[in-house]
Amino acid sequence: MTPLHAPPLPQPLATDAPLPHRKVIRGWLLPLGQRSSWRALALLALDYGLLTLLLTGVILFDSLWIMAACGLAAGFVIGRLFVIGHDGCHQSLTPSRPLNRWLARIAFLPSLTAYSLWDVGHNVVHHGFTNLKGVDFVWAPLTQQEFAALSPPARLMQRIYRSGWGPGLYYMVEIWWKKMMFPPQGSLGNTRRAVFTWDCILVSTFALLWIAGLVGAALATEQSVAWLLALGFALPLFVWFNMMGFVIYGHHTHVKVSWHDDRAAWQRAQPFVSTTVHLTFPLQIGAVLHHIMEHTAHHVDMSIPLYKLKEAQKMLEDLLPGRIVIQRFSWRWYFETARACKLYDFTRNCWTDFAGRPTSALRPAQ
């Protein structure tokens, strides 16, 4: 039922009209923010069931190819579970805050994600300061001067990360390892809490139990321990890291998307709309990914549950024509973007290659 206090929707905004305040736009989406506990529990049970079946297939099938296929699919389902946990962390999964926190922790376990660290790094830092250089660390581009000042090994890593082939390595090293697993003091500002350590212990324990289960299964079925660990643990995590790196790269990297190094200019740019990309896919792939690619709507209002994001995204695109970056995915587009978006020139407000040559339109300062 639509809440009585939901405001009537306006006419589509003219392309030259000022963008309304975020509170106004969120008001349009208000009827879509209703959450359902039973639906959240059903989604979590479904995806955990799928993951269990696939890991069982890795253990029981005789064909190496079928075992590998199960391992690959398990990595994809880990991604689906992560999206459910992501909603719980945003308090958009169920109406209950305590239930959201614990469902998120449970959903995050197979991706080895520490709930409280993700909460700070994603909800506070990334959503609070999206594409603001020096604060948001997710795929933050270097300037030519910063790149030149790196050591040769560090420059090589940046080339790999930005090649189009390295999103999984980027996520695993720069975000998960450095910021989500027992991070050092200062990696997420000056915040340090006991719950960070306990959440890291929780996911580490889950990983050890997962490994122990596979070792036990290998011994019980007289299989190679190394092969079962490779197909039932390493392969799913490899798929997950690459899936996650690719998704967050696609969400915030595009020749039409700006980064900012000045907070006042960043605020004037209304970054909750201008710094996100709506990647569209054929064959209902977006639905299979729990609609995480409807990303503009998510940044406008984090309280919208995943099963309402498609409707919310369509509403925004209807009411704000020409304001949202919509990109139909293709591998050609992806690798063209990877070639173009190497570094960022904050003076000219454009993307550049590693030599500092502009690769996107020069945008005027806000």
Residues 66, 70, 72, 73, CA torsion sign: positive
Q: Which helix (H) or strand (E) holds 157?
A: helix 152-161
Q: Is 330 exposed, middle or buried (0-12, 13-18, 19+ CB in 10 A)?
A: exposed
What is the mean pLDDT of the segment spanning 38-44?
A: 95
Residue ranges covered by each domain of the chain: 49-341
- pLDDT, tens digit, for every residue of 100-126? 999 999 999 999 999 999 999 998 889
Residue 365's identity, in one-letter code, is A
Residue 66's nearest CA partner among 54, 81, 49 is 54
Q: Which helix (H) or strand (E) holds 265?
A: helix 263-268
Cα–Cα distance for residue pair 209/2, rounded to 1 Å: 45
Angle between helices 64-89 and 97-108 (to 10 degrees): 160
Q: What is the pTM of this model?
A: 0.92
Number of Cβ within 10 Å of residue 186's Cβ equals 9
Cα–Cα distance for residue pair 175/169, rounded to 1 Å: 10
Higher per-residue confidence, 29 vs 220: 220
Least confident of 70-74, 101-105, 217-221, 271-275: 271-275
Q: Which helix (H) or strand (E) holds 277?
A: strand 277-280
Residue 266's nearest CA partner among 127, 128, 132, 123 is 132
Is residue 74 within 8 Å of residue 51, measured between CB atoms?
Answer: yes
Q: Which tokens sit at 279?
A: 């990647």
- pLDDT, tens digit, for every residue of 227-285? 999 999 999 999 999 999 999 999 989 999 999 999 988 888 777 787 889 999 988 88
